[in-house]
Each structure stands twice: as structure tokens, then as C-alpha cells.
Amino acid sequence: MQDHIVVLTGAGMSAESGLSTFRDNGGLWEQYSVYDVATPEAFERNRELVLRFYNERRRQLEHAQPNRGHQLLAQLEKDYRVTVITQNVDDLHERGGSSNVLHLHGELTKARSLDHPELIYDIGYADINPGDTCDRGSQLRPHVVWFGEEVPMLDAAAELVRTADHLLIVGTSLQVYPAASLAHEVDMTVPITVIDPDAPGSLVRARVIRKGAGEGLAEWMEKTPRGGAI
């Protein structure tokens, strides 16, 4: 039976694809206030600004490519059962070849009806504009989780983390809950490896590879038996 590797990723996973992180120098939350672009109240107050923020990120994403880290995670599927649980709303894990990706915070390439949240649409890299509506005439919004909103995939993610034989944490500051709580869902016997040049100190028992996603994953894969028990 192949070991199950669960990989919890954040914005740092996509940094080497040229996408901004949130809390590094020059990150998105230095350029915008969360309260202006990433809450339901912001959407109520200034729909156009919020839609523009996500339209700009979607356009950036259209021209971004999966990086070596995304491709190495896809290669890992040759030797292990791999589940990627990502806080990222980009589609780079899928484009990099990963086949089991769970988006905790939603997906930029999808829109959903403001008043009928069960209506979700694939929009690729197209803009969402004020006045764009669902089939039932309600405004469309980005299909992403804003601050203060529920994380519907959380329980499914926690279940998956509990079945991990190894937990890899790549490119997340682990500052945002409830996503960060997943790092504590593994049994004490399950090894945790953090890959991040500036790894958060919150996981004292984790092994840390203080490198970027691409280099760090390559190092981890070199040191790990293929397909065997880790």
C-alpha cells in the first residue's frame, strides 16, 4: 500500500511562478487592505473595487506558469498517493499536473451567484464585472473564501490530513485560521516537513528545509525513499 503524502500549500508555492504572496515584503496585503477587497462587507460597499482586485489577479494568473515545485509535486504521484490541500486560489497545482487538489479558499477561475451560492461557473481567466449575473439574475462574485466567511472544505481537509503518513507544508506562513489548524491534525508519529525560506516557527516538531518550493521539494524528494514507507 503506497504511503499517503498530504501537502498543505500557501502563496509561497506560487511565488516562483511570479505570483505575489500576501505577507512577504511587497505582498498583496501591503498593496491593498484586506477590508477593502477580501470581505463580504467590502463587496457590499464597493463591488467594483473588489471585482477589479480579483480580475487583476486572474489576468496575472493567465500569464503565469506552474513552477518546478508544482511539477515535482505532480511527479510525486508516481510513487505515492498524494493529496494537495491548498490555500491558494490559483490553478497552478492542476496545471502543474497534480490530480488531487483541494482548494480551501476557493478558486479564481470560478464565479458564483451572490444570492444562489449553489450556482458556480467556470470562467477561466475572464473578468467578472458589475452587472454580470447568474442564470437567475443575481450578481456574480469570485468563488473564493473571504475573511469572516466559512471554509466549507475544512472538515474534508482535516479528514485527509488525519490519514497522512507524511505532512509536507510548503510556502505558507500558517497565520490564517482555520487553514493553519490543519498542521496540528496529524498524529504525533507522523513526520512533518516544512519547506519555506522563512519558515514559520509555530511547528516546533517539524523538520525545516529553509529553501524555496522548487529547490526544497527537490531536496526532500532526493532524501526520501521512492514509494516506500517514509
Options 83, 171, 182, 193; binder of ligand APR; rule CB under 6 A: 171
The one catalytic residue among 4, 93, 103, 105 = 105
- Is 25 assigned a ligand-binding role in the annotation? yes
97 part of the interface to ligand APR, by CB under 6 A: no
Quick one: 66 or 212, whose CB is closer to ligand APR? Answer: 212
Q: Does 149 bind ligand APR (CB under 6 A)?
A: no
Q: Which is nearer to ligand APR, 21 or 134 (CB)?
A: 21
Q: Among 178, 198, 210, 227, which residue interacts with ligand APR (rule: CB under 6 A)?
A: 198
**Contacts by residues 117-120 (CB-CB < 8 Å, ≥ 24 positions apart):** none
* Min dist. Cβ of residue 171 to ligand APR (A): 3
93 exposure class (CB count in 10 Å sphere: 0-12, 13-18, 19+): buried
Q: Does 44 bind ligand APR (CB under 6 A)?
A: no
Q: Which of 3, 24, 79, 185 binds ligand APR (CB under 6 A)?
A: 24
User: Cα(152)–Cα(145) distance, rounded to whole angstroms?
Assistant: 9
Is 23 annotated as belonging to a binding site? yes
Q: How many CB atoms within 10 Å of residue 72? A: 20
Which one of residues 98, 113, 139, 173 is an interface residue with ligand APR (CB under 6 A)?
173
User: Is 39 assigned to a binding site?
Assistant: no
Q: Annotated binding residue at 12?
A: yes
105 assigned to active site: yes
- Among 10, 66, 96, 142, indicate the residue that binds ligand APR (CB under 6 A): 10
As annotated, the binding site includes 10-29, 54, 57, 87-90, 171-173, 213
Active site residues: 105
The residues binding ligand APR (CB under 6 A) are 10-12, 15-16, 21-24, 27, 87, 105, 171-173, 175-176, 196-198, 200, 212-213
As annotated, the binding site for substrate includes 54, 57
